[in-house]
Structure 1
Amino acid sequence: MTLSALKQLQALTTIVADTGDLKAIQQFRPLDATTNPSLITAAAKQAENKALIEEAYQQAQREAYQGTALIERTIDILTVKLGVEILKTIQGRVSTEVDAALSYDTAATVAKAKELLALYQEYGIEQHRILIKIASTWQGIQAAKQLEAEGIHCNLTLLFGMHQAKACADAQVTLISPFVGRILDWYKKAEQVDHYPIDKDPGVLSVKQIYHYYKQHQIKTEVMGASFRSVEQVLGLAGCDLLTVAPSLLAELDQDHRIVSATLDAKQIAVIENNPAAINQTLFEQQLADDLMASQLLRSGIEGFIQARQQLQLLLQQSFEVSA
């Protein structure tokens, strides 16, 4: 029998689990895993994580936090504790996201990243197993540049345009997560189209463009396609450095037995020797403003992650009867 599409894909691309669900990670045994505020909030609602939540709250109390600060610290501790549990199952790295409310504050992002890393170190996790996840604003990218210079590896998320990818390359970040599904959703709504063939899927094409640019210029930053809506989108990027995929799609791939072949191959891309000019903040902001899709999705993505964290704040306040 032909190997499953998932097994074939894993021979071409590093598959990452896009979830905070420990059971799903144990089932699919990916090399790496990614989380975000929405996934952390979903995980916090699972009964099996009740003990982790209580431990996080008790630790924050011992550290003498009170009121809103107590809840905020509890969320950070819980986020790291879930990351630690994930790392017990996988061999690679976990991406842990900085509070999206800090996305336009470089100094605060750097400080929060170091707070999260200190917690991981407190639990005995080595720094190389953590990717600090930061939104791809100009300020976020500059924070990542500072962190990378100190040997702290970063995953730049909510990436929708080439200008963001170029700025991340200039900052020498470890990894970027260009979003596939959200780009598709935006174009379907904007152009009032129900379906795109996979070779014309705007989300897939965006990642391919970034991948080609990076390989042409021998940029070391890894490309990890993210935010998938279908198995076809995932397979449309077979051969990409990494792909982070939700458990539901991993399950579909595991039951699918079509023949999978690479659509991306770095060895087939001709190298361009000249180094591209660096992008500055003025040009970045101008290109972001000119790209309605990227600017709208970056803004709404940040707002969505902030709302997810606020939902978790409310959940914890109600659970522990903490006044704001």
Structure 2
Amino acid sequence: MNEALNKALSMAGLERKDIDGFMTTFLPGVFDGNVYMHFFPDQLCNYLGIKPKYIDSLEYGGPSVLSAFWRAEHIIKSGMAENILLLFGGKGSAVRKKKQTVDSIENLYPEIANTPYKTLLSGYNYTNPVSDYALLAQRHMKIYGTTDEQRAALIVKQRENANRSGYSMFTGPITVEDVLGSPMISSPLHLLEIVYPVDGFHAFIVSKNAGKLREIRIKKYGEAHQSALPTEIDDITITPAAESSSGFRDNIKRCDFYELYDSFSITVMIQLENTGIVPPGKSGEFLEKNSISVNGDFPLNTGGGSLNRGQPAYMSGSVLLYEALLQMNGMAGRNQVKNPDKAFINGMGGWARNHSVSMILGE
């Protein structure tokens, strides 16, 4: 965490005393294994030696950092702060070593409830979020005839991006056969279709002064939230991404590259459809036919995504934002998109059905 902040300050040409705003998030168990930390943002500010006059914490998982980015820009415009630190991440290993995920941590602590209907579900040994996304993938196959091979094609192509990027954790060639031959975790999802939680942080500084970096703004923004359980949803293949992106669909199709939340193979596919990039049920065919490399037809998850970089503390939004900002500043090395002026990012949180944040970045 401290190392990430030092790097961000160096890039921004700032010192800790210059930070006057702070935004973060907290999920049970993902910071040093603590289930809960009283006034969590205060503890982080104390440790980092910063004294912000504005503090905030957003609690909807993966896309929280994207929402914080938008809020920080508006807070600065209001004059309340000048340099706002966004710090997102944690230690996924603390929960993982107990053979749970952050979404099934209630199995360890009876005082934690992920749903008000916990007692009705307590007889099931479910492994969320994997089970929830597996249900989505199964339903997509039933309705549209999507195949295992189509989901695997995405995984193979994202790995090719990761191999070129030079900064991914998981590298090396894989094939569709490798993906489908990996262990089945929750039908129909295989091991290589599932993101791996890692320990790590991303630090972003939103500032009035871009310094030596390119001045980047949020040109379009939308967010959507819905809290129903799967059995209460008419169609689980329609996620909040359909609403968060609804106000600027035409602009999305004119972007230079795309960073879509990739907690699972099906997550990317459903966002392609829900954001209007492809028609419903056509994402599998689209991914089979199109190149997603930086020089391809549709540059997608250009650094390999969190499927290959790892998911810091069960939240991938910071991976998307970091890659988009690298690309927009011409800092992506061998995997650089040529002349990127517009980037589309879509983050998901609280499983595929709870939260979504969509944005287009540009000058």
Question: Which structure shows the bigger proportion of residues in strand conformation?
Answer: 2
Normalising by the smaller structure, the TM-score range is under 0.3
**TM-score normalised by structure 2 residue count:** 0.24
Return the structure number with greater helix share: 1
